[in-house]
Structure 1
Amino acid sequence: MTRDIIIHPDTHSKLIEITETLYVFEDGNTLPIHNGVPILFGINSIFSADDIINSKVTTQDSSYLNTSSIKNYVRRKLLPSLCTDFNIEKRYHALLEFAPNNGKVLIIGAGEKVSYYKEKFKNCEVITSDVHNQFKPDYVFDGHYIPFVNDTFNVVLAAQVIEHTINPWKFCEELQRVTKTGGVLQIEAPHNFPYHAEPYDFYRFTYTGMRSLFPKCEVLNAEITEGNASVVAITLSNYFVNLSSKKLIRSVFLFVTRILFGWLKFLDNRKGTPNRRTVSMPKGYAFTFKKDEIKRTSKDLLKEFYTLKK
């Protein structure tokens, strides 16, 4: 049962009771349930239960999905995107090898894709989470303080989340802690992308920077999700849109640049295997790590870079 693996995010005390409005832990601590979703923030989190109860917009605002707005309809339905992760479905399908029937899968930062992840891993016990309740995840918690016991999950997936963590070292330690030995962690993050979801946008990651955060794991797969052409398209569009602070002018530039530069992403439509040339300025990376608990020094991690082809 899921409740058997839940612990208090700060004290790691076991969950002993669930009431209509509270999670009660063995050490006497309690955490709230709001609108049917447990809010499991630690005391040191930059988020709070009050944020959820008061519907404070933090890292995401669900209103951007509302296509009854002309702006959102044009932006989401009519205009071409400036970048696309062409290999995402194949990459997630490969994770099924590590997600046996009834295996446990943890999604960090599920966003609006809660149903997508449930369907993708439909033979598993999928637990979705986020730091807000905009899209009704199973749990709301901060990834720096994951409220699950050690060695729980066969697969842990965090797509476009790590850049929003104020302490990625702590975050990655937690991800590795809750992953079973032999389990995998799927991590996807930008290398070049505009500041977004402000102020909850903290870092960008190089190839070696990302690798260094998972010393207890081997790399099963690493790929460039969107390449240099996507960076060019995004940078040009961002430049023109930000020439003006007037909403109408910005909207016009957004429309025009999407039309002019939206085709560039197709130059990246191939499996983006990193090498010592292509890691210079891609839009983003995807790493599939396998937890093996082998102790690796910083020197060991850096040596792996030199195995990349030139």
Structure 2
Amino acid sequence: MALIELDRIERLLMCPRCRSPLNAARDAFCCTSPECPHHASAGFPVIGGWPVLVDFERSVLRREDFADGAGRTGQNPLGRVSRLPRPLRRLWKPSNRVAARNIDVLMRSLPGSAPTLLVIGGGTVGNGVDAVYRDRRVQVIAFDLVGSPVTQFVADAHHIPLPTASVDGVLVQAVLEHVLDPALVVAEAHRVLKSDGLVYAETPFLQQVHAGPYDFTRFTASGHRYLFRGFEELAAGPVAGPGTQLLWSVDHLVRGLTRSAFAGRVARLLLCWLRALDRLVPAPYAMDDATAYYFLGRRREGEMSASEIVAYYGGAQRKA
């Protein structure tokens, strides 16, 4: 796996409050700035092997989540789906070919012999992005709100504890709906990227609530593009279309009628063929009724204007 060992990235880690360097000790990381509240010896604790680099005063995370020595870091990163038999797993969650195609482009476009890729919300290996972890050329740094075998530290994406212009690429798949301020998180991605750095993102549009209280927002195609207005677009579009969106709706309709998540999952498996309808829908209509959108872009200094985003719309409701 291409995940960098923690001791090799310790020199990159910085305070999420003041962005000063950190001093590493056996059981904590401390801010080097005497004026910073995190300069105290307690600093940022190392829990279960993961440095918890979170400024709790500015985060949805609570210090109590980690008070017992494990917090939420003990979660199984593979989740319930991984326990299904392989044929059912493929029906429930088929391979994300859109992500795989775009990740291939991203990986081939990263510069140099050992580019660094930051995975935001990387507590699990995302669907269709596993090539990132197989490529020995790419050096992967990953964090999440929980620790897992595929993360080096715990952090809040609103305040990424890495220096400005320190990575060559950023991957943020199915994460921005779970943050309170997506624009701030994208701004942080923009900050940590080098001048020609690349970003790949996937974010829901028409999906029901998942992750309960940690699910906050959705984006249309135009809204998603404007979120990444500080980037040049290399590719963008739906991850999945109206058929997949209908499958999500049927699943949650059955859940509501039966008060049973299990019944919804069964309905989803029985009607998995609805995904095939995505192929029959013309692109402009799919743009208006997608379950999620992707964006592949290159960092730039200027921003897309308000008038440009109105002209950007490419759905079926365009004026003749």
Interval containing the TM-score (normalised by the shorter chain): 0.7 to 0.9
Per-residue deviation, 1:107: 0.2
Change in Cα spacing, 1:283 to 1:84, as seen in structure 2 (3 Å) is farther
Count of matched residue pairs: 299
Change in Cα spacing, 1:136 to 1:218, as seen in structure 2 (3 Å) is closer
Question: Which of 57, 68, 73 is equivalent to 2:84?
Answer: 73
- Give runs of aligned pairs for residues 40-189 of structure 1, distance below 5 A: 40-42=53-55, 43-54=57-68, 55-57=70-72, 61-62=75-76, 65=79, 73=84, 77=88, 80-81=91-92, 85-99=96-110, 100-113=112-125, 116=130, 119-135=133-149, 137-189=151-203
Is 2:52 the counterpart of 1:39? yes
**Aligned residue in 2 for 1:6:** 13
Q: Map Cα deviations across residues 262-290 of structure 1 (whole Å, 9 max, x no partner).
A: 012123359x9954x32211111110111
Letter of the 2:107 counterpart: L
Q: Map Cα deviations across residues 161-212 of structure 1 (whole Å, 9 max, x no partner).
A: 0000011121111111111111111110111111111100000111111111
Q: Is the 8 Å Cα contact of residues 105 and 125 (structure 1) preserved in structure 2?
A: yes
Change in Cα spacing, 1:116 to 1:127, as seen in structure 2 (3 Å) is same
Q: Is the 8 Å Cα contact of residues 219 and 290 (structure 1) preserved in structure 2?
A: yes
**Aligned residue in 1 for 2:3:** none
Is 2:291 the counterpart of 1:283? yes
Unaligned runs of 5+ in 2: 1-7
Q: Matches of 2:214 and 2:199 in 1, distance apart?
A: 23
TM-score, length of structure 1 as denominator length: 0.85
Per-residue deviation, 1:80: 2.1
Q: Matches of 2:287 and 2:152 in 1, distance apart?
A: 36
Unaligned runs of 5+ in 1: none
**Aligned residue in 1 for 2:257:** 243
Q: Matches of 1:273 and 1:38 in 2, distance apart?
A: 47
Q: Map Cα deviations across residues 70-118 of structure 1 (whole Å, 9 max, x no partner).
A: xx53698468226653322121111112323211100011122189465
TM-score, length of structure 2 as denominator length: 0.82
Q: Matches of 2:187 and 2:245 in 1, distance apart?
A: 30
Please, what is the CA RMSD of the aligned residues?
3.1
Per-residue deviation, 1:306: 5.8
Q: Percent identity?
A: 22
**Aligned residue in 2 for 1:21:** 27
**Aligned residue in 2 for 1:264:** 274
Per-residue deviation, 1:152: 1.3
Q: Matches of 2:87 and 2:47 in 1, distance apart?
A: 31
Higher RCO structure, 1 or 2 (CA under 8 Å, sep 6+): 1
Question: Which of 188, 195, 217 is equivalent to 2:231?
Answer: 217
Per-residue deviation, 1:25: 2.2
Per-residue deviation, 1:307: 10
Q: Is the 8 Å Cα contact of residues 237 and 287 (structure 2) preserved in structure 1?
A: no
